[in-house]
Amino acid sequence: MSDPRRTLPAVDALLAEPDVAALLATHPRALVVRAVRDTLEAARADGGAVPRAGWPRAIAARAARLAAPSLAGVVNATGVVLHTNLGRAVLARAAADALARVAAGYVALEYDLERGTRGSRHRLCRDLLVELTGAEDALVVNNAAAALLLALSALARRGEAIVSRGELIEIGGQFRIPDILARSGATLIEVGTTNRTHRDDYVAAIGPATRLLVKVHRSNFQVTGFTAEVGAVEVAAVGRARHVPTLYDLGSGLLLDLSPWGLSGEPGIRDAVASGVDAVVCSGDKLLGGPQAGILLGSAAVVAACRGDPIARAVRADKFTLAALEATLALYRDPETARREIPVLKMLTEDVEEIRRRAEALRRGVGEVAEVVEGESEVGGGSFPGAKLPTWLVRLVPDTQHLTPDTLEARLREGDPPVVARIEADRVVLDARTILPSQEDVVIRAVRRAVDG
């Protein structure tokens, strides 16, 4: 009888507590009941102990957590611009506005307003993509992985697809080129070696069953040393000479030359299209800086084949994707506007003195426990692997006897809003590059709270 678990209060008794009943004014009853049950469950797991804060406060805290959106906004202080775990690209104002507009009312998604008849959703971004990339035709789907699956299914199903061994990569999140190829119904024919593949390797592998030559951009790692790869221009030439279609999985979709800002080596979309391959696949939310989307560019025949494949329906883009992508693409009509308005491009090309000024402002706000030091940011999102961007960091230097870097990092992460920072040389650092200017005040407050405990 001494087991305290038996003496836990009943759900109804807790619901009748005035401070718990008061929660019903701001939360649905079902949520409050769940908060009570969860709190009881936690107490039971804790050996039947009364919550340290007391029942009403513990229940209120749990109710608040249950009511909060699970996709909480966070501050990205990591300096990784395209942070896949933090949602990759932050959208341009115009794209966010387009999303809100589309969400709140009906839209002419598949409706031809001139004729008053059914139209195509694919027309929406198509014209802009054709204009900006020089491709003959274009199709937008859910993400680049889906675009690749669709293209492989439409172009190589029941046949052979030839890929260089050096390009059989894993993108992350269980996504491997050989697996996706197998799912598409194509048979993979590997050519070359891990470090070197030559034009003649492709030529020798082409046979009666060959349906497609595939080139994959090794987007997330670097190879150095004794290496050789066959460029898209050459792969396209081999395909043309042997009447075999060619596909180039570009990964990140770069539509603005970033080499003046020290970022080179990532193939651009226009160059990929101009290489002469029949189809190019890239992402909407990496370097392009738009919403999650897969962009398929290519010849009229290839895009028509993809549009007609059953997988196209299963991976079709929704109205939000199309609206946000269209608004993002429209900004590229003027490269300087794109660079200024698209957050990914703005962060990647920001003047380092401007970053320093923002870091100094943060430091002044935070006070004595912070100092400004030089550091490096990363592009992230499997783009420009190895590239380091000079930046300025706010380094937090509280007395480590009382506050270890791990504890401070965790407090920042668990704060409201959560601030995701990184630890470098045993100190928590905040990279001013990826902290949005509008977040400066909340970051200062969050850091002060975390430091003061």
Ligand X SMILES: *Cc1c(COP(=O)(O)O)cnc(C)c1O
Judged by the rule CB under 6 A, the positions of this chain that interact with ligand X are: 143-145, 148, 171, 216-217, 219, 249, 251-252, 283, 294, 382
Helix (H) / strand (E) element for 200: namely helix 199-205
Q: Which is nearer to ligand X, 79 or 253 (CB)?
A: 253
Q: Which is nearer to ligand X, 245 or 291 (CB)?
A: 291
Q: Which is nearer to ligand X, 39 or 328 (CB)?
A: 328
What is the number of the residue whose Cβ is closest to ligand X? 251
Considering the complex, what minimum distance in angstroms separates the CB of residue 51 from ligand X?
42
Considering the complex, what minimum distance in angstroms separates the CB of residue 142 from ligand X?
8
* Cα-based angle 239, 182, 251 (whole degrees, multiple of 5): 60
Residues 295 and 418: their CA atoms lie apart, in Å, by 32
Q: Which is nearer to ligand X, 249 or 350 (CB)?
A: 249
Residues 233 and 435: their CA atoms lie apart, in Å, by 39
Considering the complex, what minimum distance in angstroms separates the CB of residue 227 from ligand X?
18
Q: What 3-state class would DSSP assign to 83?
A: coil
Q: Which is nearer to ligand X, 169 or 302 (CB)?
A: 169
Considering the complex, what minimum distance in angstroms separates the CB of residue 316 from ligand X?
15
For 80, residues 6+ apart whose C-beta sits below 8 A from its C-beta are: 86, 377, 378, 379, 380, 434
Q: What 3-state class would DSSP assign to 28?
A: coil
Query: Contact 436/90 with Cβ under 8 angstroms?
Result: yes
DSSP 89-120: PPPPHHHHHHHHHHHTS---SSEETTTTEE--
Q: Which is nearer to ligand X, 219 or 391 (CB)?
A: 219
Q: Which is nearer to ligand X, 293 or 412 (CB)?
A: 293
Q: What 3-state class would DSSP assign to 320?
A: helix
Considering the complex, what minimum distance in angstroms separates the CB of residue 216 from ligand X?
6
Considering the complex, what minimum distance in angstroms separates the CB of residue 174 from ligand X?
12
Q: Which is nearer to ligand X, 20 or 213 (CB)?
A: 213
Q: Which is nearer to ligand X, 251 or 289 (CB)?
A: 251
Considering the complex, what minimum distance in angstroms separates the CB of residue 249 from ligand X?
5
Considering the complex, what minimum distance in angstroms separates the CB of residue 145 from ligand X?
3
Where does 286-401 have alpha helices with state H?
Answer: 300-308, 310-314, 319-331, 335-341, 343-349, 352-366
Residues 37 and 259: their CA atoms lie apart, in Å, by 57
Considering the complex, what minimum distance in angstroms separates the CB of residue 298 from ligand X?
16
Among 96, 27, 53, residue whose Cα is nearest residue 325 = 96
Residue type, position 188, single letter? L
Helix (H) / strand (E) element for 428: namely strand 427-431
Residues 320 and 442: their CA atoms lie apart, in Å, by 29
